[in-house]
Amino acid sequence: MEESGRVLSEIVNGVGIISFYHTKSNSLPKSLLKDLTLQIDKFSKDKKVNVIQLQTEGTKVFCAGAYFDELLTIKTLEDGKEFFLGFANLLNTMRKCPKFIITKVIGKAIGGGVGIIAASDYVIASENASLKLSELSLGIGAFVIGPMIEHKVGKHAFLNMSINTGWYNSEWAYKIGLYSELHKTNEEVEAAVENHSMRLAEYNPESMQKFKEVYWNTYFDWDTLLDERAAISGELVLSSHTKKFIRSFKGGNK
């Protein structure tokens, strides 16, 4: 576990609550990706948990995606693929989870944070929850998180977000389906998340599991696809263009 980050969990009345935090805008190094994946998998198998609530700490940034300091340390194709497999495994674990995952989004989401939103089953967000995909401008491309986003909002919206790497406001994200609900205040978001979590905790677990299986049923093999996408990103992160851009981005614009 990174000293500057943590994953916390608890079970309250059938709701498995998972919260993750990192001092760098809730970004995700390998250690946090692994811990978060393991915790979701644990709750997936826990009979005391009927629904999962996912959230981050703070109110300014929900999740800034990949941890840039760690990206700059990648030197080989194997290391690159291993890093992006961390994201692939997290999103795939969310997809395979037999229980609904309700995600609370307060603050901005970037890159991998948008992937987490797309892999969630129901997302309740605040009005300050703008988002963007900056991967293409970094020289990487949203290859790992792309299938999740495309499955949720369609090819056209995903293409627009990937090419225009600027910020999209929360209203836009709500209209295309990344957000299930949008609320003006953080307090309203908190209340809505609690209400839906408690209500779903009373639903038939088998019914929710079957519903998720139907929703994520696609013509391709998710496991193979995400492994291939991690390899692509792992190669691209080694390019001089990407290294240079990340250094400049860290220097003043993150």
Asked if 77 and 234 count as a contact pair (C-beta separation under 8 A), the reply is yes
In this structure, how many other beta carbons lie within 10 angstroms of the beta carbon of residue 51? 25
pTM: 0.95
Res 3 pLDDT > 60: no
What would the mean pLDDT of 213-217 be, rounded to a whole number?
94
- Asked if residues 77 and 42 have their Cβ atoms less than 8 Å apart, the reply is no
SS3 annotation, the chain:
CCCCEEEEEEEECCEEEEEEEECCCCCECHHHHHHHHHHHHHHHHCCCCCEEEEEECCCCEEECCECHHHHCCCCCHHHHHHHHHHHHHHHHHHHHCCCCEEEEECCEEECHHHHHHHHCCEEEEECCCCEECCHHHHCCCCCCCHHHHHHHHCHHHHHHHHHCCCCECHHHHHHHCCCCEEECCHHHHHHHHHHHHHHHCCCCHHHHHHHHHHHCCCCCCHHHHHHHHHHHHHHHCCCHHHHHHHHHHHHHCC
* pLDDT value for 199: 96
249 or 213, greater pLDDT: 213
State the pLDDT confidence band at 63, using cuts at 50, 70 and 90.
very high
- Measured CA to CA, the distance from residue 232 to residue 87 in angstroms comes to 13
Q: What is the pLDDT of residue 243?
A: 87
Assess whether pLDDT exceeds 50 at residue 1.
no
Q: Where does the pLDDT of residue 138 fall: very low under 50, low under 70, confident under 90, or very high at 90 and above?
A: confident
pLDDT surpassing 50 at residue 142 = yes
What is the reported pLDDT for 250? Answer: 67
Q: In this structure, are residues 209 and 99 in contact, taking their beta carbons and an 8 Å threshold?
A: yes
Segment 27-48, tens digit of pLDDT: 999 999 999 999 999 999 999 9
Query: Is a pLDDT exceeding 70 seen at residue 253?
Result: no
Tens of pLDDT along 7-32?
Answer: 999 999 999 999 999 999 999 999 99
pLDDT of residue 4: 86
Q: Does the structure show a pLDDT above 60 at 174? A: yes
Tens of pLDDT, residue by residue over 150-163, are 999 999 999 999 99
CATH of 5-200, one of 3.30.540.10, 3.40.50.2000, 3.40.190.10, 3.90.226.10: 3.90.226.10
Q: What is the mean pLDDT of the chain?
A: 94
